[in-house]
Amino acid sequence: SGTLTVDELAGKLNKDASELIKKLMFLGVMATKNQDLDDDAVELICSEYDVEVEKEIVFEDTDFDKYLEESKQENLVERPAVVTIMGHVDHGKTTLLDAIRHTKVTEGEAGGITQHIGAYQVENEGKKVTFLDTPGHAAFTSMRSRGAQVTDIAILVVAADDGVMPQTVEAINHAKAAEVPIIIAVNKMDKEGANPDRVMQELTEYELVPEDWGGDTIFVNLSAIKQEGINDLLEMILLVSEVEELKADQTQNAFGTVIEAQLDKGRGSVATLLVQNGTLRVGDSIVVGNTFGRVRAMVNDLGKRVQEAGPSTPVEITGLNDVPQAGDQFLVFSDEKKARQIGEARQQKHIQESRTGQSKVSLDDLFEQI
Ligand code: GTP
Ligand code: MG
C-alpha cells in the first residue's frame, strides 16, 4: 500500500509499463516507470483491467471498533446528559456557563473554582448534568469530523435584545446535523428592549416552535448575568435527558473522547477526557488517538484527585506518551501489551500519513477556510 511503482504494478498485472503510463496519463496522472503510485491510482488502474485489489492491511489492529464489546442490556444504567452551549457571539454563552456553575457548585466544594478542565458537572435534584466548556462550534465540528459525538443536548443561547443572528443559524444547523435535541435559552431578559416573542417568531423559521404555539421546542427565558432562570433551564435539561433515555454500561473498559489536551511543563501530556461508556481507572492501559500510555493520575472538574470515572464524567489524565487532539477517541485495554501494540501501530500510521500528506482535511479546517 502506497509503495508500488508503475513498473512493479505492470509486472503484477502482466502488462507493459508503457501501457500503464498511457492509461495513467489518460486518467490525468503523469507518471514515470519508477514512480510510486498511491492507493487511488493503483485502484484506478486495476479497475481498468477488471482486477480486484487485495489491500494489504498493515494496521488492522488500529481499529477501535472491534475492541468495543457489546454492552449487555441488563448492564445499562442511566447516565448524565452531556450538554453543549452554542449561540451567536456575545449572546452570553460564557456568562451562562459561569452562572450554571456558580448556582450549583458551592465555593467550598470547588475550592473557589480554580480548575479549568474544559468540562464540568453539576447536580440538580440529585441528578448530574455534564457541561462542555468548549466553544460549541468546535465541539461539534472538530469532534464530529473525527466521528465522535459527545453531545446529547444542545443549548442554543439567543439574546432577547438581538434575536436570531448568523451564528445562531449555524449552531442550529450543527445541532440538527448531529440530531441532538435543542433547548432555547432566551438570554438577557433583564435588558431593556428584550423581546422574547420576537426570538420565538424568528426561530419558527427553523422549525423550532414553542409548545404554546403548537410545536415541541422548549424555550427558557433567563438572565445569565442576574443568574435568573438558571434552575428552570436545568430542570428542562433533566426533562429532556429523561426523554432521551441516556444509558451506559459502567462495567466495561472505558471508551470516550478527548475534550482538550496540552503539554504541561511539569506533568507532560495532560488530556481532558469525557468517559462515554465504561469506567476509567488510574493504572488503566489506554490508547488515545495516536497516543498511548497508562493513566498515571486523574483529576476531576473540581480539581480533586479521583481513582475512577464513570460514564459522562470529564476527567483530566496524565501518563500519555504524547499529546492527543481534541475529538480523538480513547479506549482502555485489559491487556497492557495489546494497548502498547495498538498505540504504536496508530502512531506509526499517523506518522506515515502525515509524511505522505494523506491525513484528511477535517471539517474544522474547512470551516476555517469559509
Ligand atoms: P463569545 O464567547 O465572544 O461568543 O461571547 P459569549 O456568547 O460567550 O458571551 P459572553 O458571555 O461573553 O457575554 C457577552 C456580553 O454580554 C458580556 O458583556 C456579558 O456581560 C453580557 N451578558 C451576558 N449575559 C447577559 C445577561 O443576561 N444580561 C445582560 N444584560 N448582559 C449579559
Ligand atoms: Mg464566550
63 CB-near residues (< 8 Å, 6+ apart): none
The reply to whether ligand 1 has any atom less than 6 angstroms from the CB of 223 is yes
Residue of 158, 225, 232 to test ligand 1 pocket, by largest number of atoms within 8 Å of CB = 225
The ligand placed nearest to the CA atom of residue 137 is 1
Which ligand has its closest atom nearest to the C-alpha of 167? Answer: 1
DSSP secondary structure string, 1-63?
A: ---EEHHHHHHHHT--HHHHHHHHHHTT----TT-EE-HHHHHHHHHHTT-------S-GGG-
Q: Which cell numbers hold the place of 266?
A: 511539569
- Residue ranges for the known binding site for GTP are 87-94, 133-137, 187-190
Q: Which amino acid is at 69?
A: E
Using a 10 angstrom Cβ sphere, with 0-12 exposed, 13-18 middle and 19 or more buried, the burial of residue 74 is: exposed
Q: Kindly state if the Cβ of 88 falls inside 6 Å of ligand 1.
A: no
Taken in order 296, 301, 303, 305, the sign of the CA dihedral is negative
4 CA from centroid of ligand 2 (Å): 50
Give the Cα-Cα-Cα angle 180, 185, 100 (nearest 5 degrees): 95
Q: Which residues have CB atoms below 5 A from the ion given as ligand 2?
A: 93-94
Distance, CA of 196 to CA of 188 (rounded, Å): 10
Q: Is the CB of 191 under 6 A from ligand 1?
A: yes
How far, in Å, CA of 268 to CA of 315, rounded?
Answer: 16
Per-residue confidence in pLDDT tens, the chain, 370 aa: 457 889 988 888 888 999 989 988 888 888 888 888 887 888 888 888 887 766 544 445 566 777 777 777 888 999 999 999 999 999 999 899 989 988 766 544 444 444 567 888 998 888 999 998 766 566 666 666 666 688 999 999 999 999 999 999 999 998 998 899 999 999 999 999 999 999 999 999 999 999 999 999 999 999 999 999 999 999 999 999 999 999 999 999 999 999 989 999 999 999 999 999 999 999 999 999 999 999 999 999 888 999 999 999 999 999 999 999 988 899 999 988 888 888 888 888 888 777 766 544 444 444 443 3
Nearest ligand 1 atom, CA 224: 27
Question: From CA 42, how far away is CA 179, in angstroms rounded?
Answer: 38
Ligand 1 neighbourhood includes 94 CB (under 6 angstroms)? yes
Give the end-to-end CA distance of the chain in Å, rounded to a whole number: 34
Would you call 227 exposed, middle or buried from its count of C-beta atoms within 10 A (0-12, 13-18, 19+)? middle
| Residue whose entry in the numeric block shows the C-alpha cell 491487556 | 335
- pTM passes above 0.90: no
Please give the distance, rounded to the nearest whole angstrom, from the Cα atom of residue 95 to the centre of ligand 1.
6
